[in-house]
Amino acid sequence: MDSQYKIFESARQARDPRFDGRFFVGVKTTGIFCRPVCPVKMPMARNVLFFDSAVEAMEAGYRPCLRCRPEASPGTPAWMGTSTTVSRALRLIGDGALDGEGVGKLSDRLGVTPRHLGRLFQKHLGASPITIAQTRRIQFAKKLLDETNLSMTEIAFSSGYGSVRRFNDHFRKIYKRTPVSLRREQVVDQNDAFTIRLSYRPPFDFPGILSFLAMRAIPGVETVSHNEYQRTILEEGSPGRISITNEEGQNVLLCEIEVENSRPLIRIVEKVRRLFDLDAVPQDIQHQLQRDRSLGRLVRQNPGQRLPGSWDAFEITIRAIVGQQISVKGASTVMGHIAEKYGIKSEYGTLFPGPSALAHIDPDELPMPGSRARAIRSTAEAMLDGELELGNENDGAQVVEQLVAIKGIGPWTAQYVAMRALNDPDAFLHSDLVLLRVAREILGIDDEKQLLQRAERWRPWRAYAGMHLWRNA
């Protein structure tokens, strides 16, 4: 019997939450597919099939379970780390690249032909880009149907459908029922915010990631308390606010979203998932890093380590520039000054300024060395001119190359941006002084070259290894 089958069957029998979203269970006798944590009566082993993703299950003709709701599972890791082009494409699809455009424009952004992109998707995911996008839409629509009081029209457009008719037709095709008939009879709070539940695989060090974000919070823009992260946002030209808390014992983050309309909800949720690294697979990361005995001791102390992302790529780039050669607290103070002076005031708080606001600043007005202030202005100008692209169509190496071409930005800053803005799990800040000091104490490493050589053992999770070392500073 295949070893993977044994692992999946064991996880299914145990309803192990660590495997939630890593695979799905198709039940031959009912034509339904479930999460491995589904609470229904356990089907017999001879009646089940395993799928790497919800897309594969639906492509095989199985319908989503209405009890365990596959659309509510953590992100599928089968979509991660298989191909750089596929990973970039999936991030773009997650941002809605195929909601209003075709595969041709998506492939152009990635620098490949539509045919080649289709072959890559079939090889690594077993489905086409269009099928992936359609699955994303219907899963999010089902989530909004269960967790909000939005109308059917609002749900359709918030999920990326071009019309209500397409929304209804797709629902009938997948669920064999209309969206209205699937709406649960439940009381939904009638307030100004949308509350969305976001699943993750345990273990998850929520206090650790909150602590990381708290130390770097921008005054007036971000607020972090004991169990909550809050910040202002700007989506589709409209201001808003998000608030994230952890639902203890449920393996779920509660995401409260305040926005003027529901259309950007799907993109906001995608950003929150990246910010808190909710699609990580702790078991895989831990298994690889523990091969290094010395590092393994740190990993065992905190198996729930996550890689903090960012809300906005430009904002985190400015943060990285500001943070050069000053303390974390000092950098936060300067970021607060920039937000206060150049940001936009809204009813939700201060919105951090974009490239157009910082492209014309007077470097002498910022409380920092002139060279660093000019680097901020140059970065904003490069963004506006298209010389710097921090979007998901680029990989980490491309972003690093574009950033170091800007005067005043070095490799450390560029790697930090790649790690947080692109969620690059293998980005590694080998020249970081704190990282080197801890590596010297714990790993017995003397210099950058030795650290880079040692880090080869940690691929493709070097960024997580760096986080483990950092937190032991």
- 32-45: per-residue pLDDT in tens? 999 999 999 999 99
Residues of the chain with CATH 3.30.310.20: 194-274
Question: What's the pLDDT at 166?
Answer: 95
Question: What's the pLDDT at 188?
Answer: 53
Question: What's the pLDDT at 80?
Answer: 54
What rounded mean pLDDT belongs to the chain? 91
DSSP string, 378-404: HHHHHHHHTS---STTS-HHHHHHHHH
Residues of the chain with CATH 1.10.340.30: 313-424
Question: What's the pLDDT at 4?
Answer: 85
3-state DSSP call for residue 187? coil
Query: Alpha-carbon distance 279 to 35, whole Å?
Result: 15
Question: What's the pLDDT at 187?
Answer: 46
pLDDT at residue 395 tops 80: no
Mean pLDDT of 364-372: 92
Q: pLDDT grade, residue 94 (50/70/90)?
A: confident
- Helical pair 433-443 and 293-301, crossing angle rounded to 10 deg: 110
Q: Considering 20, 277, 279, 432, which one is annotated as catalytic?
A: 432
Question: What's the pLDDT at 99?
Answer: 87
The matching CATH number, chosen from 1.10.3720.10, 1.10.340.30, 3.30.390.50, 3.30.420.40, for 313-424 is 1.10.340.30
CB 220 within 8 A of CB 349: yes
Q: Which CATH superfamily is domain 3-72 in?
A: DNA Methylphosphotriester Repair Domain (3.40.10.10)
The two tokens of residue 382 are 């490069």
Q: Which CATH superfamily is domain 194-274 in?
A: DNA-3-methyladenine glycosylase AlkA, N-terminal domain (3.30.310.20)
CA atoms in the 13 A half-sphere facing the CB of 83: 15
Question: What's the pLDDT at 473?
Answer: 81
pLDDT-wise least confident of 44-53, 170-179, 390-399: 390-399
pLDDT at residue 433 tops 50: yes
Would the CA dihedral through 353, 354, 360, 364 be positive or negative? positive
The two tokens of residue 107 are 């492939």
Query: Whole-angstrom distance between the N-terminal and C-terminal Cα of the chain?
Result: 46
Measured in degrees and rounded to the nearest 5, phi and psi for residue 184 equal -75, 145
> What percent of the chain is predicted at pLDDT more than 70?
97
Tally of CB atoms within 10 A around 304:
17
Tally of CB atoms within 10 A around 367:
11
Question: What's the pLDDT at 186?
Answer: 55
Strands 63-64 and 32-34: parallel
The region that residue 122 occupies, defined by phi over 0 for left and psi between -120 and 50 for alpha, beta otherwise, is alpha
Question: What's the pLDDT at 435?
Answer: 92
Closest CA to 416 of 392, 446, 390, 449: 390
Query: Alpha-carbon distance 266 to 168, whole Å?
Result: 18
3-state DSSP call for residue 193? coil
Q: Considering 16, 20, 34, 279, which one is annotated as catalytic?
A: 34
pLDDT at residue 100 tops 90: no
The per-residue pLDDT for range 16-32, each reduced to its tens digit, is 999 999 899 999 999 99
CB 422 within 8 A of CB 274: no
CB 306 within 8 A of CB 280: yes
pTM, whole model, 2 decimals?
Answer: 0.91
Mean pLDDT of 418-444: 91
The two tokens of residue 260 are 């003027």
**Where are the extended beta strands (E) located within 35-129?**
48-51, 63-64
Residues of the chain with CATH 3.40.10.10: 3-72
Query: Alpha-carbon distance 262 to 165, whole Å?
Result: 19
Amino acid at 181: S
The per-residue pLDDT for range 176-196, each reduced to its tens digit, is 999 999 886 654 555 678 999
Report whether the peptide linkage leading into residue 77 is cis, meaning its omega lies within 30 degrees of zero: no
Question: What's the pLDDT at 305?
Answer: 95
Tell me if residue 68 is catalytic: no
Closest CA to 393 of 126, 6, 12, 97: 97
